[in-house]
Amino acid sequence: MRHGTTAMLCGLLYAVWCGTAWGGTLACNGAQHIRLLHPVEIGPEELAEFRAMAPLRMLAVDAPPMSRYDKKQGSYTGVAVDTWCFITNKLGLRYEIDSARDQTVASKIEQVQQGRADVFMPLSLLPQRAKLGIFTEPYYQSFYAVITRKDRQLSVDSIDDLKSYQVGVVKGVALDARLQSLLPPNRLQRFDQANSDGLFKAVQDGTLDAAVFSQSIFEEKRYTREYFDLEAIHTLLDDPREYRFYFSPTAQNQRIVQAFDRYLAAIDVSLSVTKHEKGERDLIELYVKQRSQHQLWQFVGIGSTALVLIFGMAFLYYRRLARLLNERNRQIQEQAKALESANAQLKHLSLSDGLTGLANRRAFDQELLREHARSSRMGTPLSVLMADLDRFKAVNDYYGHATGDAYLCAVAKALKETASRATDLTARYGGEEFACLLPATGASDALALAERIRQAVEQLALPNTRAETGHLTISIGLATLQAGSGTAQSLLEQADAQLYAAKHGGGNRVHATELAG
């Protein structure tokens, strides 16, 4: 009995230690934003093996929106964290986190490669890394961008155009090796990862013409470091950066990676991406608000000081002070303009899809509520079209994600040109799913428009060798509310149900229904 009590206490102490050892935690509440597209089969013997394993020793890095470290909470959040928590919970795996804020990324990767840690997140695949560790399939994709000073007006349409300029890059990133092979040594300056701010300052002072850097991370740095004179002039869509989990090369971890890959092939992380990209924008908006308040207090402080000095100094000092105040006021006006521009960009970011340029799901849902209210007041019909690309996973698997992104952009353009009325709204609803909001559009007109969209996508003739037709096609679900008495949610659900029917009917077709008023 005494032995059993001792074992229980040891188990409890070990469980507490596993959650707090090494000084970090994961905020796993975001795992609810991960969903499965189809079930994943894990056998009972595998589950028993995973649950019996010792806690995995985990290393992470602050790289939003994949993972963001909160110093106050001592925890990580992000797309990678949501994905990790979802899968490890399904598999029954335990883990312990090392926050290790004083270590470099290279040092953390080396610990995994040498077996002193089990896993690192997030990390992009490089051949030399793959030789010394095990990568899972990707769960998030971003792109590099060419960043310049706004007044430079460089002409860059592809990475090859950088040959004419002085360029900077961070050592060891995915494009480092390619830039070294593309540019002569006297045209490429490579910066340590800990000195990425030095890279941007070199662009600001004209030492470099351009920097190649992760676009999503730059957008955050642009506000937190006040790089308002810099901009991303070109996104390198041909060189996507895919983020994965990186495991040490052991037989146990090989089995874990195989189980992870089964889940990664079946999950949809679009809601998590939306959540954490929005979280990043919220951080920027908070910063802008605090900065505006700081400028206000600075202005008040300068004004108060001016009044005291005006009454206490001679005329010559007054003239000198007036010049100083004029300069400070000019600086404040310039900062106010920059903040106004930042707010406008934030509003655009929050309502648009970064890849296709269409409205995003958030913008679509907001506009649907407004148009439904208008339809109810005016008694006009309202139609919603939901569309999904057929067998699109095969495109990414066979041709690669860069081709998949190009296909999405081409389809988005076709939808935008077909649903072209000023009142129509076309959105990328998530992944390869699109939506069209058609105000004052009856069932017959909406059905005709849906068929034109189906034909427009088919006429693009985008190759898809895994499809029966040999090219990319689209399935469409359509729902029309005749008098506006139904809810906006029911209209959306009916369109989604028709899309489901179109997909299961073989794809490349339109299914439609009407909701009685």
Provide the pLDDT confidence category of residue 82 given band limits of 50, 70 and 90: very high
Provide the pLDDT confidence category of residue 217 given band limits of 50, 70 and 90: confident
H-run or E-run covering 175:
none
Provide the pLDDT confidence category of residue 24 given band limits of 50, 70 and 90: low
What is the DSSP code string of 414-434?
HHHHHS-STT-EEEEEETTEE
The residue among 474, 516, 481, 511 whose CA lies nearest residue 496 is 511
Residues 6+ apart with CB under 8 A from 475: 387, 388, 390, 499, 502, 503, 507, 508, 509, 510
pLDDT at 302 over 80: no
The overall average pLDDT reported for the chain is 85
Query: What are the C-alpha distances in Å from 514 to residues 365, 382, 429, 445?
Result: 20, 10, 22, 12
pLDDT reported for residue 9: 40
Residues 6+ apart with CB under 8 A from 236: 143, 144, 145, 146, 158, 159, 175, 212
Chain centre distance of CA 475: 26
pTM of the complete model beyond 0.75: no
pLDDT reported for residue 20: 35
Instruction: Give pLDDT tens digits for 422-452.
Output: 999 999 999 999 999 999 999 999 999 999 9
- More confident position, 281 or 39: 39
pLDDT reported for residue 55: 96
Instruction: Give pLDDT tens digits for 60-69.
Output: 988 888 888 8
Given the residues 371, 432, 433, 493, select the one marked as catalytic.
432
- Structure tokens given for 489: 């949610």
- Residue 432 among the catalytic residues: yes
471 — phi, psi (to 5°)?
A: -145, 170
pLDDT at 22 over 70: no
Instruction: Give pLDDT tens digits for 233-274.
Output: 988 877 778 899 999 999 999 999 999 999 999 999 888 887
What's the one-letter identity of residue 23? Answer: G
The answer to whether 361 touches 271, Cβ cutoff 8 Å, is no
pLDDT reported for residue 52: 96
Report the alpha-carbon distance of residue 351 to residue 360 in Å, rounded.
Answer: 6
pLDDT at 292 over 70: no
Instruction: Give pLDDT tens digits for 6-17.
Output: 433 433 333 333
Radius of gyration of the chain (CA): 27
243 — phi, psi (to 5°)?
A: -100, 140
Instruction: Give pLDDT tens digits for 142-174.
Output: 889 999 999 988 889 889 999 999 999 999 887
Provide the pLDDT confidence category of residue 140 given band limits of 50, 70 and 90: confident
64 prior amide bond cis, ω within 30: no
pLDDT reported for residue 345: 62
Query: What are the C-alpha distances in Å from 377 to residues 132, 368, 373, 483, 494?
Result: 64, 14, 6, 9, 22
pLDDT reported for residue 112: 96
Q: Which of 33-37, 113-117, 300-304, 443-447 has the lowest mean pLDDT?
A: 300-304
Report the alpha-carbon distance of residue 348 to residue 357 in Å, rounded.
Answer: 10
- Structure tokens given for 144: 């590099």
138 prior amide bond cis, ω within 30: no
Instruction: Give pLDDT tens digits for 336-359.
Output: 776 676 666 665 567 889 899 999
**Residue 27 burial (10 A CB sphere; 0-12, 13-18, 19+):** middle
Query: What are the C-alpha distances in Å from 289 to residues 51, 70, 341, 363?
Result: 47, 20, 13, 23
pLDDT at 363 over 50: yes
- More confident position, 309 or 472: 472
Q: Which of 92-101, 153-162, 507-516 has the lowest mean pLDDT?
A: 92-101
431 — phi, psi (to 5°)?
A: 60, -120
pLDDT reported for residue 288: 56
Q: What percent of the chain has pLDDT over 70?
A: 84
Provide the pLDDT confidence category of residue 18 given band limits of 50, 70 and 90: very low
Report the alpha-carbon distance of residue 426 to residue 15 in Å, rounded.
Answer: 50
Instruction: Give pLDDT tens digits for 377-424.
Output: 888 999 999 999 999 998 988 888 899 999 999 999 999 999 999 999
135 - beta bridge partners?
246
pLDDT reported for residue 42: 94
